[in-house]
């Protein structure tokens, strides 16, 4: 990804390098990574006088950032960069409110990069999710493929396959339209997701 003149560039550089270093030599994952972090030039962040939106699940963010700080290394640096831009992010739970009031109070996500995000983009989406302990995010699917960088404990599942725990720093790849789900254990779930859009936006809200 080309150098960015705004503070988000630090976050993007760390995210792209950290994800690439942890996803192995799978050519499918590698191709998705190139489509997301290749030569994409980002616009400047949106500046708004409105205070960013918060949702009930944002109460878990301090704990999530503290866990990343304890992890240290490049993950700790990535967590610090995300914490620096988080005050500018609008958190959403409207889709989850339609699914379940319980989930709406215990899950939130936001676009860092993407349509309507902190940094507008029509070609990629990068966002972050936070979910309360002992909560499940149900089966769902979307046309774009997806890469997750997992920043906490938690489990993922695809189709009817068994649940698995990628571990802190693990990378999860969801192929286009695959059914997938995630769930939190005793600690909040925290993860960054990245999608190349190819004119197939991942609806939110």
All structural domains of the chain: 8-43+54-196 (2.60.120.10)
pLDDT score, position 101: 78
Alpha carbon separation from 158 to 35, 180, 182 (Å, rounded): 22, 4, 9
Q: What is the pTM of this model?
A: 0.90
Q: Is the pLDDT confidence value at 40 over 70?
A: no
CB-CB contact of 23 with 173 (8 Å): yes
Q: Please state the rounded mean pLDDT for residues 93-119.
A: 83
- The whole-chain average pLDDT of the chain stands at 88
Helix H segments across the chain? 8-22, 27-37, 61-71, 73-85, 94-99, 101-104
pLDDT score, position 19: 94
pLDDT score, position 6: 57
Q: Is the pLDDT confidence value at 201 over 90?
A: no
Q: Average the pLDDT over each of 72-81, 97-106, 119-128, 129-138 and give the range with the smallest value.
A: 97-106
Select from 154, 156, 161 the least CA-distant residue to 188.
154
Q: Please state the rounded mean pLDDT for residues 33-61.
A: 84
**For residue range 93-103, what is the model confidence (pLDDT) as tens digits?**
876 555 677 88
Distance of alpha carbon 9 from alpha carbon 20, whole angstroms: 16
Most confident listed range (1-10, 134-143, 192-201): 134-143
Q: Is the pLDDT confidence value at 42 over 80?
A: no
Select from 145, 148, 146, 144 the least CA-distant residue to 200.
144
């Amino acid at each position: 990804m080309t150098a960015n003149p705004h503070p988000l560039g630090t976050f993007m550089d760390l995210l792209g390098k950290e994800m690439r270093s942890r996803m192995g030599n799978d050519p499918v994952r590698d191709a998705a990574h190139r489509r997301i972090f290749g030569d994409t030039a980002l616009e400047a962040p949106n500046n708004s006088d409105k205070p960013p939106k918060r949702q009930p699940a944002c109460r878990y963010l301090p704990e999530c950032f503290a866990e990343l700080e304890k992890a240290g290394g490049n993950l700790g640096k990535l967590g610090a960069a995300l914490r620096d831009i988080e005050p500018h992010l609008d958190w959403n739970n409207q889709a989850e409110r339609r699914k379940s009031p319980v989930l709406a109070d215990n899950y939130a996500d936001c676009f860092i990069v993407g349509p309507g995000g902190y940094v507008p983009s029509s070609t990629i989406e990068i966002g972050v999710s936070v979910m309360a302990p002992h909560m499940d995010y149900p089966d769902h699917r979307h046309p774009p493929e997806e890469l997750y960088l997992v920043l906490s404990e938690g489990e993922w599942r695809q189709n009817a396959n068994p649940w698995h725990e990628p571990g802190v720093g693990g990378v999860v790849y969801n192929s286009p339209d695959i059914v997938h789900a995630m769930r939190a254990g005793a600690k909040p779930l925290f993860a960054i997701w990245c999608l190349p859009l190819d004119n197939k936006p991942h609806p939110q809200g």
